[in-house]
Amino acid sequence: MIRNICFSSILGSVIAFGLVACGGGGQKDLPLDDPLERTMDVGKEAVYYHRLQQAETQYKLAFDYALRRNDASEIDDAGYNLAVVQLGLDQLSKTQATIQQTRNELYVRNQANSYQLDLVEAGLFFRQNHLSRSATLAMNAQQSDQEDIQERAYFLSGLIADRMRNTDQLQIYLQKLDALIQKSKHDASDTWKADQAELQARLAFQSGQFAQTLVNADKAENIRRNEIEYRSMARVIALKAQAEQALGNNRAAAAYYLQAGQSAALLKDKYQARLWLNQAMSPSADQITYNLAFSQLKKLEHEDKKSKSNAQH
């Protein structure tokens, strides 16, 4: 059976990834298409080891194999996987093009809806801060009968509500996530528990409960680390920095911004890394924190100059 992947960190400065397998397209009783199966499996393995460029190559092949097979479900899965990986590589225009191409191929095969494509497109718009468009697509994805898609959609909707400072909506989506975890036919994955803890932390922060924010964010951070969801982990660490700032602990806040910025830099999320590292270099930072943040920023600057030099040659 072909399996698709679902993004667990794609929503950070991310979603962008710590990716895991989810149940997906294809029917168990049909003969296997060996090239299609192999490319999907190799792509999934490449994602697991964070080799996203290799995964992109494999999923492009898988998409072509799915077209050759002329199976809408497998086209849907391959297109979704490719779009998720491209979003993880911060290739936003390519992500949009893949989503649109997949939708077009599904349309001519009489498949009107794809909740998982709605989900990844919602993640794309969230990254671009088009929150109303992201919210609409995330609500569409909530209608999926796949619990993994529902869970991701509730979590993304909660993040959107948090960014919009809509505490009531954030609480509603946390409640939906809680209910899904309780009624799920399967034991909740650690990723689900981390999502739950992060939304709890964000709700506590929006409600002015900054000490509780730190408790819930600690829980989310530890799970993210164990699940190798480093981009989401960095996002949670930055939330801890905000909570410490709100409590007046500016030195601790600077240290957390440094940690988040270092992770983002090493994950090649340079835009977010610079934001957090600059916040780490606050007047309240101790000298070691300041020096480490400054050093990391200089490394990013050096990498940018090297990339420009290589491009010119």
Q: For residue 138, give every residue at least 6 positions away whose Cβ sits within 8 Å of its Cβ, in sequence order, or none.
A: 118, 119, 122, 153, 156, 157, 160
Please give the domain boundaries of the chain with CATH numbers for all domains: 1-137 (1.25.40.10)
User: 3-class DSSP state for residue 170?
Assistant: helix
pLDDT in tens, 184-198: 876 778 999 999 999
Model confidence pTM above 0.85: yes
pLDDT in tens, 97-147: 999 999 999 999 999 899 999 999 999 999 999 999 999 999 999 999 999
- Which pLDDT score is estimated for 90? 87
Winning range, highest mean pLDDT, from 15-29, 35-49, 146-160: 146-160
- Which pLDDT score is estimated for 309? 76
User: 3-class DSSP state for residue 292?
Assistant: helix
Of the listed ranges 21-35, 95-109, 190-204, 238-252, the least confidently predicted one is 21-35
DSSP class per residue in 94-158: HHHHHHHHHHHHHHTTT----HHHHHHHHHHHHHTT-HHHHHHHHHHHTT-S-HHHHHHHHHHHH
b or e along 247-284 (b: 16 or more beta carbons within 10 Å of the residue's beta carbon)? eebeebbbbbbbbbbbbbbebebbebbbbbbebbbbee
Residue 31, Ramachandran bin (φ over 0: left; ψ between -120 and 50: alpha; else beta): beta
pLDDT band at 31 (very low <50, low <70, confident <90, very high): low
Q: At what angle do helices 147-163 and 190-206 cross, to 10 degrees?
A: 20
d(CA 254, CA 242): 9
